[in-house]
């Protein structure tokens, strides 16, 4: 009989499915709930257990991991008679790995404490590839004792795992991460269009750029997307649009100016308005191509 904590996993999307499967591979018992039956079937095929409701998934869990798109979904699964807080046992630990507003995380921790339930916010960076390879960066907000308890679980999911401060701090750092990633993708996209219009060998150019100071994880991960115009979603524009709203709002609240970030937020919003919200965020290249007079 395993002495490992029993895990409930809520949300089995692009990120949640491979992450939950990595926990199963690490020997954890995982009971999952999501709205799509095919994703529950995938979990059971990997050795997990499917639940018919949130209440069923969380009732015996020691640790409840949530990975849903945004603050409204976190609130929907957490609150109300069918939600996590009403159905989890006292002493359970919620690890919310969604990317949401820092205030939502602070509020969830406060409301959970009244029920005798602990919470850490633990959003991730690394996209679908990082989730599959279990090399995510995980930025955590909450109490150190709760972080220490969750650390062995998080180590089955990522490589860089850091307690960033009190509740909401993980979300603040994730917002900064999304700012850097969006600006970086935009710069790469502009460079690609500039290089192609100049008649340069794009493969060679990106190789040499990635070997110098212009190199980045973004360019490494997204180079093939740019070269092949392959925008199958690893992280959708819709979600990055949501994240840019989080970072611009949070920055306004603390009086931090984000002049470049604000422009990129508008470019992400524009791409989404043109119907590309379901594409990978590397599709920012399509927006630059349109601005440069290219048909896409």
Give catalytic residues, as residue numbers: 174
How many other CB atoms sit within 10 Å of the CB of residue 38? 8
Which H, E and C letters describe the chain, residue by residue? CCCCCCEEEECCCCCHHHHHHHHHHCCCCEEEECCCHHHHHHHHHCCCEECCCHHHHHCCCCEEEECCCCHHHHHHHHCCCCCHHHHCCCCCEEEECCCCCHHHHHHHHHHHHCCCCEEEECCEECHHHHHHHCCEEEEEECCHHHHHHHHHHHHCCEEEEEEEECCCHHHHHHHHHHHHHHHHHHHHHHHHHHHHHCCCCHHHHHHHHHCCCCCCHHHHHHHHHHHHCCCCCCCEHHHHHHHHHHHHHHHHHHCCCCHHHHHHHHHHHHHHHHHHCCCEHHHHHHHHHHHCCCCC
């Amino acid at each position: 009989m395993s002495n490992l904590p029993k895990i409930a996993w809520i949300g089995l999307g692009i990120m949640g499915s491979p992450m939950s499967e990595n926990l199963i591979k690490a020997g954890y018992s995982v009971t999952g709930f999501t709205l799509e039956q095919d994703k529950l079937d995938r979990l059971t095929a990997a050795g997990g257990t499917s639940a018919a409701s949130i209440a069923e998934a969380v009732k015996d869990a020691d640790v409840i991991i949530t990975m849903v798109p945004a603050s409204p979904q976190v609130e929907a699964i957490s609150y109300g008679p069918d939600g996590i807080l009403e159905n989890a046992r006292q002493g359970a630990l919620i690890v919310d790995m969604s990317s949401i507003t820092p205030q939502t995380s602070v509020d969830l921790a406060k409301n959970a404490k009244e029920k005798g339930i602990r919470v850490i916010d633990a959003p991730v960076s690394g996209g679908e590839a990082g989730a599959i390879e279990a090399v995510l960066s995980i930025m955590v907000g909450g109490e150190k004792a709760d972080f220490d308890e969750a650390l062995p679980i998080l180590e089955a999911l990522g490589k860089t795992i850091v307690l960033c401060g009190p509740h909401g701090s993980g979300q603040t750092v994730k917002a900064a991460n999304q700012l850097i990633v969006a600006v970086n993708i935009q710069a790469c996209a502009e460079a690609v269009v500039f290089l192609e219009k100049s008649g340069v060998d794009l493969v060679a150019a990106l190789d040499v750029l990635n070997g110098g100071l212009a190199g980045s994880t973004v360019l490494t991960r997204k180079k093939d997307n740019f070269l092949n115009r392959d925008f199958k979603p690893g992280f959708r524009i819709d979600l990055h649009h949501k994240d840019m709203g989080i970072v611009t709002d949070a920055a306004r609240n603390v009086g931090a100016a984000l002049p470049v970030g604000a422009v990129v937020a508008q470019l992400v919003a524009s791409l989404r308005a043109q119907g590309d919200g379901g594409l990978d965020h590397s599709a920012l290249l399509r927006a630059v191509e349109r601005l440069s007079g290219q048909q896409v």
